[in-house]
Amino acid sequence: MTDPLEPLEGRPFWIMDGAGNDFVIVDLRDGGTMTTDAARALGDRSGPYGCDQVIGLIEGPAMRIWNADGSEAGACGNAARCIASLLFDEEGGEILRFGSPSGELHASRASGQIEVDMGAPRLGWRDIPLSEAVDDTIALPLPPGLLQRHGLEPPAGVSMGNPHAVFFVTDAEATDLAAFGPTIENHALFPERCNVSVVSREDGGLRLRTWERGVGITRACGTAACATLVSAARRGLTGRSSAIRADGGTLHITWDEKTGHVLMAGPVQLRRKGVF
Ligand SMILES: N[C@@H](CCC[C@H](N)C(=O)O)C(=O)O
């Protein structure tokens, strides 16, 4: 059997995390491709690497995103902040832009935090996407029996360049997310599957836990934090800005009233760099 990582030989990589959401970032700026098998091998936590997402830094510069199961994603907020941090280290300055599968992203840095403008949330049923017409995506029509079984209310739906279902619960920490995450992720209402979050209020902001599409439970999900703030503001539970605490750290999310864009700020960490 051939080694799926052989085509990456000689390429630089970085292992980074954003609020605990971890990535193997591969420098593909002078060409080279990431195969699905290579992405799976890098994502496999029982192998020599292991991460939530594999990120290709490609010519542009721009980023491509693969989940640990090898599927490609349209957005990754925490990886966007890590890519911005790498580019800031290379280029200097306080503001930069780079490409992503869902469009150009703008980033800035101040006081050790990296902020990325994640663009406007998309709230129409076709945008998320859903498999059936829904008038208002603030409460998605999942089967009542399924919701009752897990003590859930209908979730809000949001696309941040990737699909999210956000459940508001009394206590996110006490909610057995692993028991229903896979069922919701793969439910027929979501033809492209979805990321599944549970959110509750706490002193100083919101508590968030996420079951990521193509990954499972993560220590943080940046686009889920954006989807959470948008959904909480739409439901009148918060204003347009909040601290959102994930297992691995806190993100600060603002839904800018003027631009309609969602801004996400938080810590990033370089754990290791090397060459394959
Ligand atoms: N960790 C990410 C989201 C990664 C992609 C997601 N699993 C998907 O398939 O949409 C983030 O920080 O946003």
Tens of pLDDT, residues 236-265? 999 999 999 999 999 999 999 999 999 999
Q: What domains are defined for the chain? A: 6-119+267-275 (3.10.310.10), 144-255 (3.10.310.10)
pTM over 0.95: yes
Q: For residue 112, what pLDDT is reported?
A: 82
174: phi then psi, degrees, rounded to nearest 5: -90, 0
The two tokens of residue 245 are: 């605490």
Contact 80/116 with Cβ under 8 angstroms?
A: yes
Lookup result for tokens 């959102």: 244
Atom of ligand 1 nearest to the CA of 215: 7
The two tokens of residue 213 are: 């599409």
Q: For residue 32, what pLDDT is reported?
A: 86
Lookup result for tokens 């510069």: 61
CA distances from 12 to 102, 207, 264 (A): 25, 36, 27
Among 195, 211, 262, which is best to mutate for testing ligand 1, by the most ligand atoms less than 8 A from CB?
195
How many helices and strands (H and E) does the chain possess?
5, 17
The two tokens of residue 97 are: 């832009």
The reply, when asked if residue 67 is annotated as ligand binding, is yes
Find the mean pLDDT for residues 107-112.
89
Q: For residue 7, what pLDDT is reported?
A: 92
Nearest-angstrom CA–CA distance, 269 and 62: 20
118 C-alpha to ligand 1 centroid (Å): 13
In this model, does residue 2 exceed pLDDT 90?
Answer: no
